[in-house]
Amino acid sequence: MGASRHPPSGASVAHSAIYLAASLPSLYAIYLLPSHIMLSIFASAQAATTNPATSSRQRLSSLATGLGHSLDSANVFPTLQSSSSLSPELVATCTLAAIFLLTTVVWRFVGPASFFDQFRSKGKKQKNKHALPTPPIVRIPREIQLSEAGHAAYNRALDEHGDVVIIPRHGRMEYVVDHHHVRDVLTDANSYSFEKAVTNMLHMEFMLWFKNGTFVQELDKLVQDGVTPRLRAVVEKIAPVFSQEAQDVFAKQGGGDSIDQVEIPDMYEWIHHSIARAMVILILGEQYLDEDMTKRFMDVVVAVANLSGIYENTRGWRYLPWLWSLKTTLGAIFLTVVPRFFFGILPRMYANKDNHLNHGVDVENDEYAPFFDLLAAKHRDRKTGRLSFLNFVWCAVVCLGIIFASIHQTAVVAAWCVMNLAKRTEYQAEIRAEIESCLEQDADGNRQLTVESLRRAEKLDSFIRETMRTKGDVFAPVRFTVRDVRVGKYIIPKGALVAPYVKRAHEHADNYGDQGKIFDGRRWVGERPAVQGSHDFISFGLGRWACPGRHLAVAELKMVVATLFDAYDVTLKDGHFEAADPMNATSVAPAGIVQLRKRR
């Protein structure tokens, strides 16, 4: 590792190229695509109502026609002809999108915004030339960053330099903050922006241009209004999904009367499917729940995960990160998000928008209501009581964000919890006994999970919290500086991506003494629950922007573990599992084969 005291004043050329590559198709999806959808929806709303599957295929065909293919898409986009020529309307739309994109690029990279940013930055550098220094750059070889040794390298850098170090990674400069400053960084909303950090990480900074930059706030408020006061009704609605999934998994893996044990080679995939089914109900409603819609949700989640760079340490990212970024971005947008969501899910939502709107208006604050219903009611015109097309598209895009945010991370953590408990067999008997004592019976005598029963499962809660603490997260909550900020003996400049080093905060002797690296599944029984954050437990963040869905997430984690371990004896093949990506345990599930045996 080498250290330098002079970080570059702006983004690197490689990072700029990745940003542009990511922004181009994203701008297409946000500006040009809604024009297509508007034409499609208003031309064929009736067809979508009677035969939504066929309507979706027609819409996809019309998109191909607009790109120059000779496909017949009559009655879908009336303005597009079955020829290789582009219609005037489509040309106008493409031109407008191109002009807007060009204006954005010029303004951001070579125009007035860039000029003034550089001017201000240069002035500040001269002014602060003899004041506090910026953090040192510590260069960690790529092969180290992609292995378990990366953690030791990060710790050495912070031990040597203290407070903050800059580590170049994936074409950007990441300001890694030591555990002493976790609380200040995560709770100072005047110096750090959560919204800019999240959209930067997801290559979706353009979303802050709409609705006065409230996209992330919209997600946060939606989860707070849609889950927190309705958690009892929400759990009652989705608990049967997890019970049924646990019952079905054995047969799906080939189990039967003559076979009492099966192997699940990809536990994440099963959990991903279970949570996706639950979120179809929570986001759109029970009437949408079928295997096709579940698969669409899962595909969208994987696409957005690729788009956001979650798998940066794997596959092609190891060797050609800029090319892999371009490939995955284009593939995620054009091959999945556009056809699977905008042309698959959205037409059905539009056909039923009045029902969604009416239910969202009438529902009580403590009753279950799909997220889209609540959004439609919030964004309706108060005078006419109707939901405009633009607000409908906005609500749909917010739902797209919720689909990813509510499924991927929860499924990853659930996979860690299941495999960890399967490995640590000494905890299974007491946790299983607690689960059995907490299960309640419904009117028909069936055992069920409720909010109250989940809250009583303190041993399971402690095990989940300890798993989250020790699984080895590098970064989870991130921030973006909105002004120059002093952290310890350094100055972090405005416009920096700042990330507290989670694993260090979760294990350091200052926080846990000599027990920080020791797993103790009973550590939190009678103490802090898994949903409660602190400076030494930041898996869900801290402060104003602590994860608003953490209560739902922990409830889902408990339902996954409880239903599986109540029905089966769960073990690991060869008794172990491993981190698929040691430097990204936050977003990548562990690898291991889970064995299920029906309990007698």
Binding positions for heme: 547
As given in the structure block, the two tokens for residue 219 are 């997600």
- Please name which of 167, 534, 529, 226 lies closest in space to residue 363, comparing C-alpha atoms: 226
Interhelix angle 458-470/428-438, rounded to 10 degrees, is 130
Sign of CA dihedral 234, 272, 442, 555: negative
- C-alpha 234/C-alpha 281 separation (Å) is 9
- C-alpha 337/C-alpha 484 separation (Å) is 37
Contact between 559 and 449 under an 8 Å Cβ cutoff? The reply is yes
Q: What angle do CA 278, 284, 285 make, to 5 degrees?
A: 70
Q: In what order do the strands lie in the sheet with 568-572?
A: 261-264, 594-598, 568-572
Q: At 32, which amino acid appears?
A: L
- C-alpha 35/C-alpha 100 separation (Å) is 14
- C-alpha 218/C-alpha 201 separation (Å) is 18
Burial class (CB in 10 A: 0-12, 13-18, 19+), 52: middle
Contact between 401 and 301 under an 8 Å Cβ cutoff? The reply is no
- C-alpha 49/C-alpha 310 separation (Å) is 37
Contact between 497 and 173 under an 8 Å Cβ cutoff? The reply is yes
As given in the structure block, the two tokens for residue 127 are 């002014």
Point out the annotated binding site. 547
Residue 435 CB: number of other CB atoms within 10 A? 23
HEC-encoded secondary structure of 101-144: HHHHHHHHHHCHHHHHHHHHHHHHHHHCCCCCCCCCEEECCHHH
- C-alpha 192/C-alpha 542 separation (Å) is 13
Residue 129 CB: number of other CB atoms within 10 A? 8
Beta strands in 247-308 (DSSP E): 261-264
Residue 387 CB: number of other CB atoms within 10 A? 23
- C-alpha 234/C-alpha 229 separation (Å) is 10
Which residues make beta-bridge pairs with 487? 490
Distances, alpha carbon 377 to alpha carbons 194, 221, 341, 352, 398, in Å: 27, 14, 22, 14, 14
Identify the helix (H) or strand (E) that includes residue 73: none
Q: What angle do CA 567, 292, 294 make, to 5 degrees?
A: 50
